[in-house]
A and B are shown apart, each in its own frame.
Chain A
């Protein structure tokens, strides 16, 4: 068939495939370049702020003052640029077709450089991922790609950015599959590889080919040493658990503060970081030179123990107070210090020959990373690519899986997902190939609902509750749900003479909700937990009501299905006549 005879739409589809291929390479290159530039900018800014031997006043003032400025920017112009960037990209991928505004990428770059460069104990890899995804999303819009294709570019950009930031092409691809998409069998593996390779080529042509960490060739000295690595896995799990719990707790504390204080919270964190830096300047910024020292046995036991603790505290403060930066690098730092400490103990106490403490620092890095980030395969390959040491693969895998298991047991929700939940964003549970149930909440809900403002009187709530099928009333302001109130509650309050009181005083604040794509089974289960009404809310904004489900709507749905007997649905069994 000649080109001129090809239908317009077919040609467009072909065009989209070709553009996607070209964009994959371009995005890999651009993400990689931006990741390198981000790294260089942070180094330059750090030197600018702190020089070679900073004074106490510098340690105190720089993080505070700079965070005050970045706090303003983050609150006013770039609220999506707070934090790591990885959970935001995950949310964009799963909930918004991969859409990351270009403004966010710019804001992340700028504020990330300032935050990390001013001393905050945060990583640069997460921000690189968000910057790359922002660029990819912008290009997708420029080329008018379909939503499906635009969505696919987010993990591709993540792979490119991480490869450029870490010089770890394989781990970057695994990360995109394991963490962003959540499915190791994703069809995007080819594109992710292409982007990763492109990024690494440009990165190495600028920064050279040497690994980030120079470590001796460690190996398993005695088979029984595996037991020591099991212990290391347990320690790694506990450290990652402490980090996750601590971060979520402190962040919750900051989020509960008045909204007006959000603009100042980064500066509060900056002040605390400044105080820590006076006594422990080793926790400043990324801190890879100290990781290198731990990997080479260059730190004392007590030093590693103290640095592990202080880095944990500093990173929690930096992140929870709302600054822009990631947690990859701090995870590696924590792991190296914890692992090195365990290695020192093992070396001292073991009756049989064991490896150097540096080997334990190496494995510890992987274990804590796996426990915090919850990407065990990425962790194994990342450590290998960062150090180019294959000898400790087996201990690394063992320690990783143990740490991962412990972290998952006591913190079932992965950290990135938990951080999103604190921001009222709920990712799909099985973050993998979304399994769309046959029947879901969307099919049952009614969009016919009303919401009463929270300042309305109980008397006006009674008017709404008197309508048929309105045993329960939604309360909210400006389209945001804040609570429920039942007819029975309203009756009681009116009888008590409180008809003029605002309805928010009697609102039920703790209630169940469902999302449109959740199954009927979940709907039925949660409907029973609520007093007669189940709100159906958006995943990307959990206080935005899309519809409601009541027992009546459920009955109507069932009756509607019963009337539609001739409709054959997938899964229906044909009964032989």
Chain B
């Protein structure tokens, strides 16, 4: 009788355990489905808050925008765009510390995000933390940028970095960055003029002249290009060339006070 009873009990136990395992598996799958649906709901709620936040920001109500962006990030923590929007709004509302913390947290999830690193760079730049700003600018430059305009964006970031370095008197590093920038400039007169002007600010007249010349080559009537070239040439002591750049069918160049005076001063025409 004991043997039979034992067998019956064990048999029942095994059946029960199998049923419970099946129940557990079913419950697991069900819970996972519910969790997925909840996540969709969270994303929808977050998107709604985000849109409302953008509207508030555009209307100038920064504090409300911050609250709405916070709600968006609470509902969809992993969303980089929401986090960035919150950080930007916080920075605009003078909540610097929280903006930094938000961005640092985002950076933990997206360490190579150009957008996140750029925001951090800007915050560091605002507080004149040169070392940290440069670090974040570099991380932004070599980070990931999505979309077709990635090259343009990278160029803009580098220009921003150069301006920052020049503002803080670091001409040597600025020139290094400009040389990299130069190698990848689009073939437009505006781009070369911009680069040339930055080279001039950095004290590298030679490279500036190259860029201005290229700008003129692409657009002979480009006033900014000719005036910049004349400046660069005169800084290099090439006064004849400078005059040549100024002899332009467009009369506006001759009458531009800056270049005319500079040319006159160096060539001694003015008394």
Contacts and interface: CB of A to CB of B under 8 A. Distances in A.
Interface of A: 4, 7-8, 11-12, 15, 19, 22, 26, 29-30, 33-34, 36-37, 40-41, 43-44, 47, 52, 139, 142-143, 202, 205-207, 210, 214, 216, 289, 292-293, 296-298, 356
B38 A22 contact: no
A47 B42 CA distance: 10
A15 B10 contact: yes
B41 A296 contact: no
Contact of A47 (B5, B6, B34, B45): B45
B241 interface: no
Contacts, number: 83
Nearest to B23: A30
Contacts of A7: 2
B77 A40 contact: no
A40 B31 contact: yes
A91 B172 CA distance: 75
Contacts of B45: 47, 52
Contacts of B77: 210, 214
Nearest to B108: A214
Given A52-B45, A52-B49, A11 B35 contact: no
B176 interface: no
B21 interface: yes
B9 interface: yes
A24 to B, nearest CB: 12
A34 B28 CA distance: 9
Given A19-B13, A29-B28, A34-B27, 9 more contacts: A15-B10, A26-B21, A30-B27, A40-B35, A214-B105, A216-B104, A297-B101, A298-B70, A298-B98
A206 B74 contact: no
A202 B70 contact: no
B49 A296 contact: no
5 contacts: A12-B9, A37-B34, A52-B49, A207-B35, A289-B70
Contacts of A207: 35
A44 B31 contact: no
Contacts of A142: 16
Contacts of A143: 13, 16
Which secondary structure dominates chain A's binding surface?
A: helix
A293 B70 CA distance: 9
B237 interface: no
Nearest to B45: A52
A296 B101 contact: yes
Given A15-B10, A33-B31, A43-B38, A8 B2 contact: yes
Contacts of A292: 74
A7 B270 CA distance: 123
Contacts of B97: 297, 356
A285 to B, nearest CB: 13
B35 A8 contact: no
A15 B74 contact: no
A297 B35 contact: no
Contacts of B37: 44
Nearest to A43: B38
A206 B6 contact: no
A139 B5 contact: no
B17 A22 contact: yes
Given A26-B20, A47-B41, A289-B74, A216 B101 contact: yes
B24 interface: yes
Given A40-B35, A43-B38, A293-B70, A8 B5 contact: yes
Interface string B221-255: 00000000000000000000000000000000000
B151 interface: no
Interface of B: 2-3, 5-6, 9-10, 13, 16-17, 20-21, 23-24, 27-28, 30-32, 34-35, 37-38, 41, 45, 48-49, 70-71, 74, 77, 95, 97-98, 101-102, 104-105
A34 B24 CA distance: 10
Nearest to A37: B31
A22 B21 CA distance: 10
Given A47-B45, A52-B49, A297-B98, A36 B10 contact: no
A7 B5 CA distance: 12
Given A8-B2, A26-B20, A52-B48, A15 B9 contact: yes
A8 to B, nearest CB: 4
A30 B24 contact: yes
Nearest to B20: A26
A132 B29 CA distance: 19
A214 B78 CA distance: 12
B4 to A, nearest CB: 10
A294 to B, nearest CB: 12
Nearest to B6: A11
Contacts of B48: 52
A11 B13 CA distance: 14
Given A36-B35, A47-B41, A52-B45, A296 B2 contact: no
A153 to B, nearest CB: 13
Contact of B35 (A139, A206, A298): A206
Interface centre among B31, B32, B41 (most CB of A within 10 A): B31
Nearest to A356: B97
Contacts of A214: 77, 105
Scoring A19, A36, A289, A298 by chain B CB atoms within 10 A of each residue's CB, the highest score goes to A298
A161 to B, nearest CB: 14
Nearest to B12: A143
Contact of A33 (B2, B28, B74, B105): B28
Contacts of A296: 98, 101-102
Contact of A36 (B5, B17, B31, B70): B31
B35 A29 contact: no
B76 to A, nearest CB: 12
A455 to B, nearest CB: 51
B34 to A, nearest CB: 5
B38 A33 contact: no
A26 B98 contact: no
A47 B74 CA distance: 14
A41 B35 CA distance: 9
Nearest to A298: B98
Contacts of A36: 31, 35
Contacts of A26: 17, 20-21, 24
A22 B32 CA distance: 23
Nearest to A293: B70
Most buried by A among B3, B71, B77, B97: B97
Contact of B24 (A4, A29, A356): A29
Nearest to A288: B74
Nearest to A22: B17
A507 B236 CA distance: 115
Given A26-B24, A210-B77, A298-B70, A40 B101 contact: no
A89 B61 CA distance: 50
A216 B105 contact: yes
Nearest first, the 7 A-B pairs at minimum CB distance are A8-B2, A289-B74, A33-B27, A206-B35, A40-B34, A37-B31, A29-B24
A15 B21 contact: no
Nearest to B66: A298
A117 to B, nearest CB: 13
B112 to A, nearest CB: 19
Contacts of B34: 37, 40-41, 44
